């Protein structure tokens, strides 16, 4: 199992220390949640923070854009240091064109689905995707309860990926802990995002190892 700790639950007054901890941990990447107050009812951080994290991080940056018009920020996202650019299906009208543009800019392309968006919405782009992010909470906040319907969606997505010959990895985000993570592992998830479960634990590096062992 790959693990992408979500920085949203980190101590932003001590980002340097938090990134050091992640660099020394077995985390596979760092998940960065960008919120614009329009697509989701919350505002988090933008390019200056991503750039600062990129300078310090030894791990790939998995950037989850909860913003409208993500197609307007592709080159800026690449220049800021993003490895994976995750855009919401619900926020992007020309998804096929935007996926191509993300890849042409040199990043990995991922599409995120809200809990209410069916997996079938990705049928015609799945072959061109590096990753799909399934939201297991309604996006906007850390620390919410896992929506169990995500297990069914993970199984459906796994089927779609094998049917289409896609190499896309399945990432799941929201309410992930040792219990929900175990069910997701069984259902076929490749990458677990975890914010509060990692950063609110006594030993975040150890919690990352625990999730990796699921
Ligand atoms: C929610 C974000 C998540 C969030 C997850 O909109 O996309 O990445 O940080 O937080 P937890 O793991 O606490 O549910
Ligand atoms: Zn996220």
Residue 111's pLDDT band, with cuts at 50, 70 and 90, is very high
Strand order in the sheet with 2-5: 2-5, 191-194, 169-173, 131-135, 108-113, 84-88, 61-66, 30-35
Domain that holds residue 80: 2-212
Q: For a ligand 1 pocket test, name from 193, 197, 201, 210 the mutation site with the most ligand atoms within 8 angstroms of its C-beta.
A: 193
* CATH code of residue 114: 3.20.20.70
CA of 165 to the centre of ligand 1 (A): 29
Mean pLDDT across the chain: 98
Residue pLDDT, tens place only, 43-77: 999 999 999 999 999 999 999 999 999 999 999 99
* Closest atom, ligand 1, to C-alpha of 140: 6
Residue pLDDT, tens place only, 167-185: 999 999 999 999 999 999 9
CA of 70 to the centre of ligand 1 (A): 19
Question: Is the CB of residue 133 below 6 angstroms from any atom belonging to ligand 1?
Answer: no
pLDDT of residue 195: 98
pLDDT of residue 183: 98
E strand or H helix at 214: none
Residue 210's pLDDT band, with cuts at 50, 70 and 90, is very high
Is the pTM for the entire model greater than 0.95?
yes
- The total domain count for the chain is 1
């Amino acid at each position: 199992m790959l693990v992408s700790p979500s920085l949203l639950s980190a101590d932003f007054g001590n980002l340097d220390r938090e990134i050091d901890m992640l660099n020394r941990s077995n985390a596979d990447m760092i998940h960065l949640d960008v919120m614009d107050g329009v697509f989701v009812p919350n505002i988090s951080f933008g390019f200056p923070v991503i750039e600062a994290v990129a300078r310090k991080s030894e791990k790939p940056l998995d950037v989850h854009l909860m913003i409208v018009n993500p197609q307007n920020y592709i080159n800026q996202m690449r220049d800021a240091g993003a490895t994976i650019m995750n855009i919401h299906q619900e926020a992007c009208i020309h998804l096929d064109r935007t996926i191509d543009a993300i890849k042409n800019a040199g990043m990995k392309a991922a599409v995120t689905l809200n809990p209410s968006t069916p997996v079938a919405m990705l049928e015609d782009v799945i072959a061109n995707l590096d990753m799909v992010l399934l939201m297991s909470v309604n996006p906007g906040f850390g620390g919410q309860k896992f929506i169990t319907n995500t297990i069914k969606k993970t199984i459906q997505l796994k089927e779609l990926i094998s049917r289409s010959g896609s190499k896309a990895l399945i990432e799941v985000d929201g309410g992930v802990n040792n219990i929900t993570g175990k069910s997701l592992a069984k259902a076929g998830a490749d990458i677990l995002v975890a914010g509060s479960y990692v950063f609110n634990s006594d030993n975040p590096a150890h919690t990352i190892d625990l999730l990796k062992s699921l």
